[in-house]
Chains A and B, each alone.
Chain A
Amino acid sequence: MATMTVNGKDYEVDEEGYLIDLSQWNREVGEELAKSEKVDMTESHWEVIDFLREYYDEYQIAPAVRVLTKAIGKKLGKEKGNSKYLYELFPYGPAKQACKIAGLPKPTGCI
């Protein structure tokens, strides 16, 4: 099993670098995961990540893209409630890339 080291502590990740135990996640781990994805985290990124983690806590799965865009739109203003905005933040796709940084499992299926 591969590991990732943050502040001297080892964290298990899978072959694609997704965190195995999501309860171990913290901001520093998120920063490190973002680095592996070449994403420079800003407050806008963290807003999305926080929402993803809240949603996951409630439903045990990441939100659908549309649910995410609508929620972001409601919370942060209409101009941010679209997938273009999310793709600007997470170029490899909000579902997979943002989930990875949030420490959530990779969404699977025909997506």
Chain B
Amino acid sequence: MADFQTPEFREYPAVPNTLIPNATAHLSPFVAKPEHQEQLGFPGELVDNWEEKAIDKMGDLLGKYRSLRVYLDSCVKCGSCTDKCHYFQGTSDPKNMPVARQDLMRSVYRRYFTFAGKTLSKFGLGGIVGAREMNREVLDEWYSYFHQCSQCRRCSVFCPYGIDTAEISMAAREIMDHVGLGQKYCNEILGKLQKVGNNLGLPEPALKATLAEYGEEIEDDTGLPVRLPLDVKGADILLITPSADFFAEPHIDGLMGYAKVFHEAGVSWTLSSYASEAANFSMFIGSYSNMKICAERIRDAAIELGVKRIIVGECGHAWRVAYSFWNTVAGIGSGADENDVYAQKLQKQLDHSFKQPTHICEFTYDLIQKGKLRFNKAENDHRTVTFHDSCNVARGSRMGDWAGGQFDIPRAVIKACCNNYVDMDPDSIKEKTYCCGGGGGLLTDDLMEIRVKGALPRMEALKDVSDNKGVNTLAAICAICKAQFAKVLPYYNFPMSMLVSTHQLVGEALVMTGSEQEKELMEEEAEASEED
């Protein structure tokens, strides 16, 4: 791993006042191997006439996605976006300004798809209108800098034209995949998902044994036979959660929190070994066809198990995929294609008196509103909690049925089970939230430098509330955010243990009916009333 310096905290976080050209030009992730590429329907390696193929693919995407053409046409170089990217703030590399990242593609677009660019380029004057030939140098620059974008869309919030750099970055990766230059991290994982059912490559027997262990752990703690059911036909609810929830910390504690909530609510639920993954990295690589293949596993599992409701665990981009794409790619929700038999079937099977799909935070929030969950908030009194809004939840989806529900609901859930809650700087939360630094397919060890540097703005906002408001706990609702923070917190001298899953806080304070915790609480209350 390359040596690099963790950025210093700035006294007044602001625009980097010294630009460092090509500061992170050396960063580019491992290239996917032929087997990773081919399993997703892409060429194994860079094809011979890749320049031509890349331009053809760009033309194809421009025809399919009107938005892409509008984004490439409409930038007026106003500069609003320049300092809004966490990677720019952390690296001072001008190519990490969102406008510069867009220009990597815009320059090629101008050369091959605009009248001025095509004409002037004949005389070698394309540069006048910012047009560039597609060549190896450009491709390498794409590969490097389109993998220094986490597709978090913070810049688009500040763009007066609403230009979405994420969509440009997704299109660029789709083009690169189509000429045989894919990223190992995303593509290897997508292959595992399509073969085994999850990003980890966790096979059914291992998943079953793992879930049994967690059930035992909850039983040891509560005295209640809480289970994490797998492949139960006829269950009402299918939980689709990131496979990191089965494997990593603090994700696991979130999973056990969901299990406790389901148990307390008295609902029948199940996980699926065939569809044991909420994540769908197809979005990161802009591949609609792969997104559909991954989502269809969930549809098949839902039909096979006969469930009435689909609930999604704590995962940022998965919730965007679920909320914004599942309906059309797989028929989960409404809007299934008339000719798509299975999508139609599932749509009829699901109970539409519930939101389809439902986020786990919505499910818990609803129970809290109905007074069905009892919390002993004192269990979390050693914590002062702040919440990190995940970019894809904040800017790519919604919870509840009101504007901003995706901000209010997780906070309401946390406040229901914690007495001490503080928000970070308003410029760093809700729709202006900063990416954790590891989103969009960047959560890989070979990109550790950009991950650490890109975490700077979030770490600064955390430092502020940690120093001034006593915050000692950072709650997240995304598997990527959790894994990223677990790695980068120590670089900024925070303890890894300050990181929690949102449903971990829920699980710790939940007083389940008939549990050891309930008995203790009743004894304490009885003692207190005797003293009175």
Contacts and interface: CB of A to CB of B under 8 A. Distances in A.
Contacts of B109: none
A64 B201 contact: no
Interface of A: 15-16, 59-61, 63-67, 70, 83, 93, 95-96, 107-111
A60 B214 CA distance: 20
- The B interface, classified by DSSP as helix, strand, loop or mixed, is helix
Contacts of B210: 63-64, 67
Contacts of B145: none
Interface stretch (B78-86, B132-140, B238-246, B516-524): B238-246
Interface stretch (B56-64, B247-255, B361-369): B247-255
Contacts of B214: 66
Contact of A96 (B202, B246, B249, B445): B445
A48 to B, nearest CB: 16
Nearest to A94: B249
Q: Considering the complex of A and B, which 9 residue pairs feature the smallest CB-CB distances, nearest first? A: A109-B199, A110-B479, A59-B206, A111-B248, A110-B244, A64-B247, A109-B200, A110-B480, A110-B483
Contact of B248 (A16, A60, A95): A95
A65 B246 CA distance: 9
Nearest to A55: B206
Contacts of B446: 15-16
Interface centre among A64, A65, A83, A109 (most CB of B within 10 A): A109
B228 interface: no
B203 interface: yes
Given A59-B203, A108-B189, A108-B192, A65 B30 contact: no
Contact of B242 (A63, A93, A110): A110
Interface residues of B, number: 37
Contacts of A96: 445
B209 interface: yes
B225 to A, nearest CB: 19
B517 to A, nearest CB: 20
A58 B444 CA distance: 27
Nearest to A60: B203
Contacts of A65: 247-249, 252
A68 to B, nearest CB: 10
B198 interface: yes
Interface string B268-293: 00000000000100000000000000
Q: Chain A CB within 10 Å — which of B214, B248, B479 has the most?
A: B248
Nearest to A56: B206
A86 to B, nearest CB: 10
Given A108-B192, A110-B199, A15 B30 contact: yes
* Best-buried of B198, B249, B483 by chain A (most CB within 10 Å): B249
